[in-house]
Amino acid sequence: MAEIIVSNKQTRVRCSDEKFLEAVYSSKTYAEIAEKTGQKVASTMARYSRVKKALSKENIELPEMERKKPVRTINNIEEMVVIAKRLKERHSSI
């Protein structure tokens, strides 16, 4: 979908404005846009911001994007409780 250019230790992914806007209108998060265009999420966020500002001057609104929510799963609560109690006892006895 995007053109990849490699030169002197640097890899750049180039994506046309049309492909970028296609990805924007068919996505809900910056991560989805980045996946569709092959660019990094940080590059995608910066480009989205620039394009949104430019288009708003022409009264064209882009859909709002969200950041991908982190997946937080803590399966070892019991282990953490035991460790915390052990450390608390060790440090209170010093």
Domain boundaries, the chain: 3-92
- Distance CA(63)–CA(72), nearest Å, equals 27
- Distance CA(47)–CA(88), nearest Å, equals 48
pLDDT of 74 higher than 80: no
Q: What is the pLDDT of residues 81-91, one digit of tens each?
A: 888 999 988 88
Q: What is the mean pLDDT of residues 32-52?
A: 94
Going by pLDDT thresholds of 50, 70 and 90, the confidence category of residue 28 is very high
**pTM, full prediction:** 0.64
pLDDT of 75 higher than 90: no
Sign of the dihedral defined by the CA atoms of residues 22, 26, 29, 35, in that order: negative
- Distance CA(37)–CA(67), nearest Å, equals 16
